[in-house]
Amino acid sequence: MSHDKSSVPAGSEHRRLNSKDYKTLSLAALGGALEFYDFIIFVFLAAIVGQHFFPANIPDWLRQFQTYGIFAAGYLARPLGGIIMAHFGDLVGRKKMFNLSIMLMALPTLLMGLLPTYDSIGILAPLCLLLLRILQGAAIGGEVPGAWVFVSEHVPSHRIGYACGSLTAGLTAGILLGSLVATALNTLLPQADIIAWGWRIPFLLGGLFGLFAMMLRRWLEETPIFNEMKAKKQLVEGLPLKQVLGNSKPEVVMSMLLTWMLSAAIVVVILMTPTYLQKQLAIAPTAALQANSLATVTLTLGCIFFGWLNDRINSGLVFIVGSIGLAVTTYVFYHGVAADPSLLLVLYPLVGFFVGIVGAVPYAMVMAFPPAIRFSGISFSYNLSYAIFGGLTPMVVALWLKNEPMAPCYYVIMLCVVGAAVGCWLLQQQLRQESTALAEAN
């Protein structure tokens, strides 16, 4: 772990969070929530989007596979967008890239709500949808790592875990907003109207929300750490990514593995499960989405809790305990609801809380990279891993489901083993650092 605490501005290390910190956290979280809503609303409407953007005469599983393919394209575009924004974020400032990412998200989302369908323009319809999805992916690639770096460099060092957990909770609140909008749509409109024109409403709302958040972000200030590095001429020279790959390989691997766990937990348990409940267990759409909304509320609370825990105990222990908790509750949820669907409203929020272990991930990444290459280090690791695993997860699980009805459950448990293993590695690294520091003090 190569984080340098001397990079924290003098006198800020032990102060409490002040009103300026809370304003920064609130505006960053609000913008992130709206941007995340824009990115994931697609998956809540995947079945209807597939009907409009692909030929009517193809098998249902193929239409779903192609729709998830376009969903995956957003993930595959993340590394390029993230690396470019992080490059300039490390060289010219965090704030400029933070504002650019939200504009790149809002406009494509708005256009998705206005797109002609396959019936109107044929093959051009899915191609335009694919292009807009790629732009969304580039935007989110810069947004998430940028937001973590931005807030962690504003708050005192002993509150970084809480700040990153709270921000991640803000991002998951965007998923909750998506779930609530999808629930409202299914509650207020007949299914025929949703299929005809109602599916456009969430995209149009998302675009407008995003443009509003972009206006609010103008009030944010550049991070004190970046300003200090700039004043002392400590900004990285040349390509930040070259230094990341040259000097921080173990940190990159650790960050990629944690991102794999994060992506599996969010994509499978929160994003794919409402559709899974409807198709595999014949649970009504409204019931599935209401339970999903509750699970996303507990996920938001879990992010704050596990982030806060990082400021209190060894972060390796946080991942070991959180991963075991997630594995156990995942097994209980999928098997329990399959046996007795009436348990849905109890078990889904329970597993949602333990998905909150994702709120501990940004702390580990922020502490792993030195400030001069922090944005590039986090962005490269997070986005490359999310592109590979986040993008492929829905397709792997969808194909696995053809032979194994518990595929989502076993996929998440497999990743909990990875999370616990990384926790053991972090624990070992941190104990070694402490014993070295103790030996030097004596």
pLDDT, tens digit, 9 for 90 and up, residues 294-353: 998 999 999 999 999 999 988 899 999 999 999 999 999 999 999 999 999 999 999 999
| Predicted local distance difference test score (pLDDT) of residue 78 | 82
Write phi, then psi, for 205 (nearest 5 degrees).
Answer: -60, -45
374: closest CA among 365, 363, 384, 387?
365
| Predicted local distance difference test score (pLDDT) of residue 92 | 82
| Predicted local distance difference test score (pLDDT) of residue 4 | 42
Per-residue pLDDT of 10-47, as tens digits, reads: 334 567 777 788 888 888 888 778 877 877 788 778 77
% pLDDT > 90, the chain: 32
Place of tokens 């991963």: 323
Output the CA–CA distances (angstroms, integers) from residue 281 to 179, 185, 402, in the order listed: 19, 22, 14
| Predicted local distance difference test score (pLDDT) of residue 60 | 77
Query: Whole-angstrom Cα distance, residue 428 to residue 101?
Result: 37
Q: Where are the alpha helices (H) located in 223-314, listed in sequence order?
A: 224-231, 240-247, 249-264, 273-281, 285-310
Query: Whole-angstrom Cα distance, residue 265 to residue 418?
Result: 12
| Predicted local distance difference test score (pLDDT) of residue 1 | 53
102: closest CA among 212, 203, 176, 202?
212
Half-sphere exposure at residue 134, Cβ-oriented, CA atoms within 13 angstroms: 7
What the chain holds in terms of domains, given with CATH numbers, is: 19-441 (1.20.1250.20)
Pick out the chain residues at pLDDT < 70: 1-14, 391, 442
| Predicted local distance difference test score (pLDDT) of residue 5 | 40
49: closest CA among 76, 35, 34, 69?
69
